[in-house]
């Protein structure tokens, strides 16, 4: 419908223009061609002058009117350490180009007025003018040189890479149509290796999971960074050109497929501080949702953003991610809530090359779980609660042989017994209700014995523990599902005294 309307409008406009032409022609044949032309020239000249005045006033007015929305002006001081030097360069460039802009526009329209066609007026012939040519070549050349040199100076100041001894956070942003895939290094502070051949639906970055550095990497949905800490962003692309653009921090760098780029910057203002600086300006004291006049105001809902500054295709506009700058403590809290992408999405799945193999990160995690369960049991007042499950002690099916990975959990127990020299425990074996109850009793007793033997071998005095099998007599939950039966097949210990 809309294209049809536009087409009809265009046809009508064409008809109007043709008709005006015909009327003018008719008028000139009545009044004489030459007189009409002079009259048209005079009006064109006057209207040119009117236009340039209105245009220049409009330019200045709109710049002043929208000042508080523009980066570098009003509340929009740079939120990064290097940002002010870019803003300064921008102002210097604007100063020189602004002068040229005003002078050339005035000259252009003034000349159209002054040298309008008149009866008996002839154009003057000038072959060349050396003085004029020297001036209009030299002045722009000097200004350009000045701008380029100061630009290079700023570039050299902003772009050097981080030194080995510097304290910084490294994160990674990969542009894909149409999204930014973000990666944080995790607790080891190292980003793992990538290989484009490994890219799949669940491994969008092509991370090599056999590289331990990858196993703790995070893929958060937003960029969260502590204030006043240097950040190095690795920037890459998986398909076409994108551009990593953090407007409020004056950070912008192309993301090029196959060529890693980077940008280093230090955020100097938290999101909260930026909101505060916006709150003083009337432009930001309006409801952020026009349909909800009582709701939060624009300054309250402000967020820094990551955008793509390269027109990369149809969905280009949707490449937006929220950036939050917070205090060091808030950053640490946020970081501790993020989970490893590998452990959450890949681990023991079809694409895990390490399926079934115990990882260092898991050993650490299991130890943490053991320690907190132990501490809980140690401080429990009631003897019923003084029980710790040995979740990662496992046996071969139907037998009393420990799996080799069980030693990590048992070593945790050995360590605990050595650290708490007064602690005495009872090791208890339990089974589910599958099979014969008498056999189950025997099996659980021999499993408890195996654990006891292990402790003794590790140098724990035999007087500090007893081992007992309970068979299927003490289920944790009812034996009605596979899952529940697995919970009931367990080894645990009870703290008898400490
Ligand atoms: Cu893009």
Task: Give distance in angstroms: CA of 308 to centre of ligand 1.
Answer: 5
Q: Of 419, 384, 354, 339, give the one whose Cα is nearest residue 492.
A: 384
- CA 206 / ligand 1 centre spacing (Å): 19
Q: Quote the CATH superfamily of domain 168-346.
A: Cupredoxins -  blue copper proteins (2.60.40.420)
Pairing status of strand 424-430 against strand 465-469: parallel
What is the Å distance from ligand 1's center to 8 Cα? Answer: 37
Question: pLDDT confidence of 344, banded at 50, 70, 90?
Answer: confident
For residue 347, report the distance from its CA to the centre of ligand 1, in Å: 30
Distance of CA 239 from the midpoint of ligand 1 (Å):
9
Q: 237 CA to middle of ligand 1, Å? A: 9
Q: How far is the CA of 180 from the centre of ligand 1 (A)?
A: 8
Could you tell me the distance, in angstroms and rounded to a whole number, from the CA of residue 305 to the centre of ligand 1?
14
Taking the centre of ligand 1 as the mean of its atom positions, its distance from the CA of residue 199, in whole angstroms, is 19
Distance 228 CA to ligand 1 centre (A): 28
Q: Is the pLDDT of residue 11 over 90?
A: yes
* Ligand 1 center–CA 253 separation, angstroms: 12
109 touches 48 (CB < 8 A): yes
Residue 326 — left, alpha, or beta (φ > 0 → left; ψ -120 to 50 → alpha)? Answer: beta
The per-residue pLDDT for range 230-266, each reduced to its tens digit, is 999 999 999 999 999 999 999 999 999 989 999 999 9
Sign of CA pseudo-dihedral 411, 416, 419, 421 = negative
Write the CB contacts of 489 (distance below 8 Å, at least 6 apart in sequence): 430, 431, 432
| Stretch(es) of the chain classified as CATH 3.30.1330.60 | 360-497
Strand partners, 255: 242
Greatest distance between any 2 Cα atoms in the chain? 129
Rounded-to-10 torsion of CA 463, 469, 475, 481: 130
Q: How far is the CA of 320 from the centre of ligand 1 (A)?
A: 9
Q: How confident is the model at residue 23 (pLDDT cuts 50, 70, 90)?
A: confident
CA–centroid distance, residue 251 to ligand 1 (Å): 15
What residues pair up with 287 in beta bridges, in sequence order?
297
Task: Return the axis-axis angle of helices 83-114 and 130-158, rounded to nearest 10°.
Answer: 160
- Which residues of the chain does CATH 2.60.40.420 include? 168-346
In the three-class reduction of DSSP (H, G, I as helix; E, B as strand; rest coil), residue 469 is classed as strand
Distance in Å, CA 435 to ligand 1 centroid: 61
- Please state, in angstroms and rounded to a whole number, the distance separating the CA atoms of residues 299 and 285: 7
Task: Give the pTM.
Answer: 0.72
Q: How many helices (H) and strands (E) does the chain have?
A: 12, 13
Alpha carbon of 307 to ligand 1 centroid (Å): 8
- Ligand 1: centre distance to CA 316 (Å): 5
- Ligand 1 centre and the CA of 159: distance in Å? 22
Spatial neighbors of 34 by CB under 8 A, at least 6 apart, are: 119
Cα–ligand 1 centroid distance for 290 (angstroms): 29
- Cα(81) to centroid of ligand 1, in Å? 26
Distance 321 CA to ligand 1 centre (A): 12
Q: Which CATH class is domain 360-497?
A: alpha beta
- Residue 68's pLDDT band, with cuts at 50, 70 and 90, is very high
252 Cα–ligand 1 center, Å: 12
pLDDT for position 210: 87
Question: How far apart are the CA of 221 and the centre of ligand 1, in A?
Answer: 16
| Residue 415 CA to ligand 1 centre (angstroms) | 53
Whether the predicted pLDDT of 34 surpasses 90: no
Ligand 1 mean position to 319 CA, how many Å?
6
pLDDT, mean of residues 363-381? 87
Helix (H, G, I), strand (E, B) or coil at 190: coil
Does 304 have pLDDT greater than 90? yes
Q: Look at residue 309 and give its three-state secondary structure.
A: coil
- Rounded to the nearest angstrom, the distance between the alpha carbon of 280 and the centre of ligand 1 is 34
Are residues 227 and 215 in contact, defined by beta-carbon separation less than 8 angstroms?
no
Question: In this model, does residue 29 exceed pLDDT 80?
Answer: no
Q: How confident is the model at residue 476 (pLDDT cuts 50, 70, 90)?
A: confident
C-alpha to C-alpha distance for 197 and 72, rounded to whole angstroms: 43
What's the pLDDT score for residue 248?
Answer: 95
170 C-alpha to center of ligand 1: Å?
A: 21
Cα of 23 to ligand 1 centre, how many Å? Answer: 53
Distance (Å, rounded) from C-alpha 168 to C-alpha 263?
12
Return the pLDDT at 378. Answer: 87
Residues sharing a CB contact under 8 Å with residue 287, sequence separation 6 or more, in sequence order: 293, 294, 295, 296, 297, 298
Cα of 245 vs centre of ligand 1, distance in Å, is 10
Please report the sign of the dihedral spanned by the C-alpha atoms of residue 451, residue 456, residue 459, residue 465.
positive
Half-sphere exposure of 363 (CA within 13 A, CB side): 11
């Amino acid at each position: 419908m809309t294209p049809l309307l536009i087409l009809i409008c265009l046809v009508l406009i064409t008809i109007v223009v043709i008709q005006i032409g015909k009327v003018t022609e008719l008028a000139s044949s009545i009044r004489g061609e030459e007189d009409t032309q002079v009259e048209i020239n005079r009006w064109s000249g006057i209207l040119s002058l009117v236009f340039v005045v209105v245009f220049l006033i409009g330019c200045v007015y709109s710049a002043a009117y929208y000042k508080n929305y523009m980066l570098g002006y009003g509340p929009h001081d740079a939120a990064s350490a290097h940002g002010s030097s870019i803003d300064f360069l921008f102002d210097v460039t604007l100063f020189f180009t602004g002068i040229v802009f005003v002078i050339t526009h005035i000259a252009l329209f003034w000349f159209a007025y002054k040298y309008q066609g008149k009866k008996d007026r002839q154009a003057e012939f000038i072959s060349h003018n050396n003085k004029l040519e020297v001036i209009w070549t030299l002045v722009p050349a000097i200004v350009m040189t000045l701008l380029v040199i100061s630009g290079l100076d700023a570039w050299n100041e902003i772009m050097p890479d981080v030194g080995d001894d510097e304290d910084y956070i490294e994160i990674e942003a990969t542009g894909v149509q149409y999204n930014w895939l973000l990666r944080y290094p995790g607790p080891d502070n190292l980003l793992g290796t990538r290989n484009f051949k490994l890219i799949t639906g669940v491994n969008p970055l092509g991370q090599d999971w056999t590289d331990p550095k990858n196993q703790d990497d995070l893929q958060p949905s937003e960029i969260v960074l502590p204030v006043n800490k240097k950040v190095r962003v690795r920037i890459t692309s998986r398909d076409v050109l994108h551009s990593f653009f953090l407007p409020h921090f004056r950070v912008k760098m192309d993301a090029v497929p196959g060529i890693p780029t980077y940008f280093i910057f230090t955020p100097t203002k938290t999101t909260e501080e930026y909101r505060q600086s916006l709150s003083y300006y009337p432009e930001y004291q309006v409801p952020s949702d026009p349909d909800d006049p009582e709701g939060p105001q624009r300054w309250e809902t402000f967020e820094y953003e990551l955008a793509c500054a390269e027109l990369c295709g149809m969905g280009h506009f949707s490449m937006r991610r929220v950036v939050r700058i917070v205090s060091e403590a808030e950053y640490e809290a946020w970081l501790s809530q993020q989970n490893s992408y590998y452990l959450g999405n890949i681990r023991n799945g079809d694409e895990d090359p390490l399926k079934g193999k115990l990882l260092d990160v898991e050993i650490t995690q299991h130890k943490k779980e053991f320690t907190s369960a132990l501490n809980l049991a140690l401080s429990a007042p009631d003897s019923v609660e003084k029980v710790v499950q040995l979740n990662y002690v496992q046996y071969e099916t139907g037998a009393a042989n420990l799996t080799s990975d069980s030693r990590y959990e048992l070593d945790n127990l050995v360590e605990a017994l050595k650290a708490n020299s007064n602690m005495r425990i009872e090791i208890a074996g339990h089974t589910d209700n599958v099979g014969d109850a008498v056999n189950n009793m025997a099996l659980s007793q021999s499993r408890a014995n195996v654990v006891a033997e292990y402790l003794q071998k590790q140098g724990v005095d035999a007087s500090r523990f007893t081992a007992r099998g309970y068979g299927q007599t003490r289920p944790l939950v009812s034996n009605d599902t596979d899952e529940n039966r697995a919970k009931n097949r367990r080894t645990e210990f009870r703290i008898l005294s400490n």
